[in-house]
Amino acid sequence: MKIVVAAVFAIVLYFVITNKINKTIAAMAGGLVLLFIRVFPDPFEGLEKSLDINTIFFLVGMMIFVRVMETSGIFEYIGIKTVKLAGKNVRSLFLALTFVVAAVSAFIDNVTTILIFVPITFAITDILEIDPVPFIVGEIFASNIGGTMTPIGDPPNILITSAARIPFTEFAKYMVPINLLILALADLVLIVVGGENFKKKFPAEFIKGLDEKRVVTSKKKFFNSAVFMILIITLFLLQKQLKLESSIIGLTAGFFGLLLFERQEITPFLEKVEWEVIFFFFGLFIITGAMEHVGIMKDIATLLVKLSSGSMTILSSVIVWASGIVSGFVDNIPFAATMIPVIKGLPNINPNFSNITPLWYALALGACLGGNLTPVGASANVVGLTLLKKYKDTEITFGKFLRYAIPVVFISLVISNIYSIILLRII
């Protein structure tokens, strides 16, 4: 049965990588095949054990929340305000934009962040008559780095913190500082590569022409949205003290957002929920649950133990680099989903690996930051480059993207590797 389950996983992974079949269809088909052939003695019980309901409900709730908040104009307001406060220097504007993109991506999905900030960036680069590529690439990198900072910033983190039961504040305490350092170094690399683009100044007329108030259609709704957003962020910060699962907070954010701002017509918001992503997770959970059930995960964990020679330091390094490189080419969600039961099973194989908490951070760093390696490494990359092609008729080739990405990701993984070793000593 191991061979059958491994074959199904390999076939699904092939279609996820090549995109010859929609990844959600591939994942759901693979999962359903495993249920039909009774990999689990009781298919329904297997389904029940495999699905991470906490992750599923959290995603649904937060997707609704983001769509509701968008209607107030609050995200566009933040973007325009950033430009106005950044001054007249292109370099300072670039730094301000990337840090704000990272901050926003820590709380909402990376694709939404890119969709908000890329049009603003196009307006700036058009007026200054400079190449938009370094800016767009910088924002793509920033969105992925920012998503690494919190449990809700990137899907792998949602999976990891749900499985490991790591509270929001504890995860952020260890992840925010290191990722701010990585972001600063990534910006420095891009400024060096960008060259002359970052030496220009703004015309005064451009700054004066910006008006963040234009995106606010209703002051009352804008104010209430800001207050509500602060309240939801506070709930995440107090998650441990309140003893609330992230799914409860996510659903509260989504449906109380609808209650406050859209009490009648909710269909447009439910339609904007990325059901494709939700069902992709469904299929993925079934497949990884089957792999765990037949013992494949235990085999992988045993292999990792052998490679590490019983050393937590080596094992942590292996996880950072393997997850970073693989996630550059393969969707980081299935990789993280595959690795979670592997890490969970390590203490049963070797008593030296009793404290696996630092390994969760190693996996999160590698899986999320590795997404910056290639144009297809993360959804934000695909969306950002598509917008560049569509509106600026500028296509970034695989090779050109690597010119920016390789030094950034190499620095990111080196720092993550060192940091993961430090965490072994302090957690």
What pLDDT, on a 0 to 100 scale, did the predictor assign at position 88? Answer: 66
Residues in the chain: 427
| 10-residue averages of pLDDT along the chain (427 residues) | 90 81 89 92 86 83 84 80 74 89 88 80 78 92 95 88 91 96 95 77 67 79 90 84 85 91 82 81 86 81 78 92 84 80 85 88 95 82 83 83 93 97 92
Residue with structure tokens 């910088």?
A: 138
3-state secondary structure 174-217: HHHHHHHHHHHHHHHHHHHHHHHHHHCECCHHHHHHCCHHHHCC
What pLDDT, on a 0 to 100 scale, did the predictor assign at position 15? Answer: 85
What pLDDT, on a 0 to 100 scale, did the predictor assign at position 266? Answer: 82
What pLDDT, on a 0 to 100 scale, did the predictor assign at position 331? Answer: 67
CB 132 within 8 A of CB 391: no
Backbone angles phi, psi at 211, to 5 degrees: -140, 100
Burial of 111 (0-12, 13-18, 19+ CB in 10 A): buried
CA distance 419 to 408: 16
